[in-house]
Amino acid sequence: MPELPDVEIVRRRLSRWIGGGVIVAARSRDAYVTRKSPVAFGRALDGARVVRVERRGKWLRWALDERVVFAHLGMTGDWVRAAPDAKPLAAERARVDVRRGESLVSVRYTDPRRFGRLLVARGDIAEWTELGPDPYADGLDARTLEERLDARRASIKEALMDQHVLAGVGNIVATEALFRARIDPRKPAGTLTSSERRALARALHVTIEAGLARRDFLVYGRGGEPCPRCGRPLAKIVLGGRGTTFCVRCQPRGA
């Protein structure tokens, strides 16, 4: 489930597994996911040291000695650890074997749907540098939210999911945070009141923490079920091409 909280969980695992290690072998056979010759992926990584594993929004950034690896999990991507001699896992698209002291760690990139990306670069790429503030790494207050949303005509939900506005908010986090903040997802972003922006900043924080704690969703994917707050059946609409669940009573349009 790769939105900000899930990507952060993957980052922590990766950092623990391979941070500070030296890559002894990196292989991919998937030209679609590597967006270039998978051979170049292996060549660029072989022998490099993993200085650190960072995250911004939904992107992971591996800082190597002289290169940078950008990894996006798309819809179904994940990094898992396997025994170095284990056969390729189901939907495995790449593997990176890392030596840390005495031990050899093998991490595998799995991604059935292959919307994810594994990019090698010499420096930062536009997809990374053009990201908006990350509400977890950078913190988020009502003032920042106001700057980011000001004069936007798109709905608040679509604005939240725009990675240039805020980095890391996807369909689940947006849906859950708007429910917590009691804001109609269709409301134009630029028309939120300051108290709504305060509630939304807080709700994003709570939603991200709930995601990190792997708690169940309140309303996402629960269209037709009773609203957890008032019991009225949750509405299900499409906004910006994405399924959107909300409560017409608890999330009013009016200010």
Partner DNA sequence: CGGCATGTTGCGCA
Partner DNA sequence: TTGCGCAACATGCC
Q: Pick the catalytic residue: 55, 56, 58, 187?
A: 58
Residue 35 binds DNA, judged by CB under 7 A: no
Residue 158 burial (C-beta neighbours within 10 Å; 0-12, 13-18, 19+): buried
Residue range at the interface with DNA (CB under 7 A); choices 70-78, 96-104, 133-141, 197-205 = 70-78
d(CA 214, CA 28) in angstroms, rounded, equals: 30
Residue from the set 42, 133, 135, 170 that interacts with DNA by CB under 7 A: 170
Cβ pair 228, 220 in contact under 8 A:
no
d(CA 196, CA 61) in angstroms, rounded, equals: 33
Cβ pair 206, 182 in contact under 8 A:
no
Residue range at the interface with DNA (CB under 7 A); choices 34-42, 95-103, 167-175, 224-232 = 167-175
In the 8-state DSSP scheme, what is residue 181?
Answer: H
- Would you call 112 a catalytic residue per the annotation? no
- Would you call 52 a catalytic residue per the annotation? no
Residue from the set 49, 190, 240, 248 that interacts with DNA by CB under 7 A: 240
Collapse the DSSP code of 3 into the 3-class scheme (helix H, G, I; strand E, B; otherwise coil) and give the result: coil
Residue 132 binds DNA, judged by CB under 7 A: no
Catalytic residues: 2-3, 58, 242
Interface residue list for DNA (CB under 7 A): 1-3, 6, 32, 57-58, 72, 74-75, 91, 112-115, 127, 153-154, 161, 163, 170-172, 238, 240-243
